[in-house]
Structure 1
Amino acid sequence: MGINLNPFTWWNGASWGTILGLRGKRQVGEDSLGNTYWEGGRDTAGNPRRWVIYSGANDASRVPPEWFSWLHHQVDGTPDQNLPPPRQWQKPAVPNLTGTALAYRPQGALEKGGHRASATGDYEAWSPDA
């Protein structure tokens, strides 16, 4: 997006109003996707306000689980301070792929040709006389 569209395209990153609203706030971290996380001020319950500035499309599924827990006050400190390092068997977080070419499509889906496997012999249709 060009700089001229930034005030009008809130769905493709932070608008000018959001950027101006960050004055006096503290950036607490950045994730592997380039999203930045901020803290500052208090909400009506007295908790610190926390939010994310997306790098790219504004899609909540692009927030990794460890930062999700920080955003929702499940942990007090940032993930690198409070959480153990990721285990070797853990996979990296993946954004929601619905609507993309990489989305899951079951065997009988129209996008995969629409052909399902034939029913096996263990299926018996319901009959009102039975």
Structure 2
Amino acid sequence: MLKAIFSWWNGATVGARLDIWRRGVFVGEDEQGNKYFEEKRPSIEGRKRRYVIYNGLAEASRVSPDWHGWMHHTVAEPPTIAPLKRQAWEKPHQPNLTGTVRAYRPKGSLARGGVRQASTADYEAWSPDSGDRR
């Protein structure tokens, strides 16, 4: 309960949940458990604001392309009503994994534990004791 009160990075705070519950309508949920809401009445700009409450870490790249289009008013209907047509060549949505244990680490990367191949054009590190004062 304390995590919900004080941390904004784990879903939403209690205040945000109350505000969305008071002004919004539940629209749907995605495969990751993120919940999407839309305001009951249009704002001053003339359109209804849309919200997401993340299931876990609040990371924008966890929003799939179909929900992203709805959130940004690119498409009018949410994916629960009008799902995006998937192409055979499309891979499933994956959030940005940078900084996690599942991040891409190319061959020879220090994070992968590999050793970089030697190059014929390798440099020699400068040393203040070398006497070279260019």
TM-score range, shorter chain: 0.7 to 0.9
Is the contact made by 2:11 and 2:58 (CA closer than 8 Å) also made in structure 1? yes
1:68 aligns with 2:92: no
In terms of mean alpha carbon deviation, does 83-92 or 73-82 score higher? 83-92
Counterparts in 2 of 1:100 and 1:20: CA distance versus 1, 3 Å: same
Q: Give how far 1:14 is off.
A: 1.3
Q: Distance between the aligned counterparts of 1:71 and 1:6, measured in 2?
A: 23
Note the aligned Cα RMSD (angstroms): 2.1
Q: Distance between the aligned counterparts of 2:26 and 2:71, measured in 1?
A: 13
TM-score, normalized by length of structure 1?
0.80
2:12 to 14, 33, 38: 14
1:126 aligns with none
Q: Distance between the aligned counterparts of 2:117 and 2:2, measured in 1?
A: 53
1:42 aligns with 2:51: no
Sequence identity (%): 45
Q: Give how far 1:97 is off.
A: 0.7
1:46 match: secondary structure? coil
Q: Distance between the aligned counterparts of 2:84 and 2:93, measured in 1?
A: 16
Is the contact made by 2:10 and 2:58 (CA closer than 8 Å) also made in structure 1? yes
Q: Distance between the aligned counterparts of 1:90 and 1:25, measured in 2?
A: 33
Is the contact made by 2:66 and 2:84 (CA closer than 8 Å) also made in structure 1? no
1:92 aligns with 2:92: yes
Q: What amino acid is aligned across from residue 52 of structure 2 in structure 1?
A: V
Is the contact made by 1:75 and 1:82 (CA closer than 8 Å) also made in structure 2? no
Unpaired runs of 5+ residues, structure 1, are 124-130
Q: Distance between the aligned counterparts of 1:84 and 1:65, measured in 2?
A: 9
Unpaired runs of 5+ residues, structure 2, are 122-134
TM-score, normalized by length of structure 2?
0.78
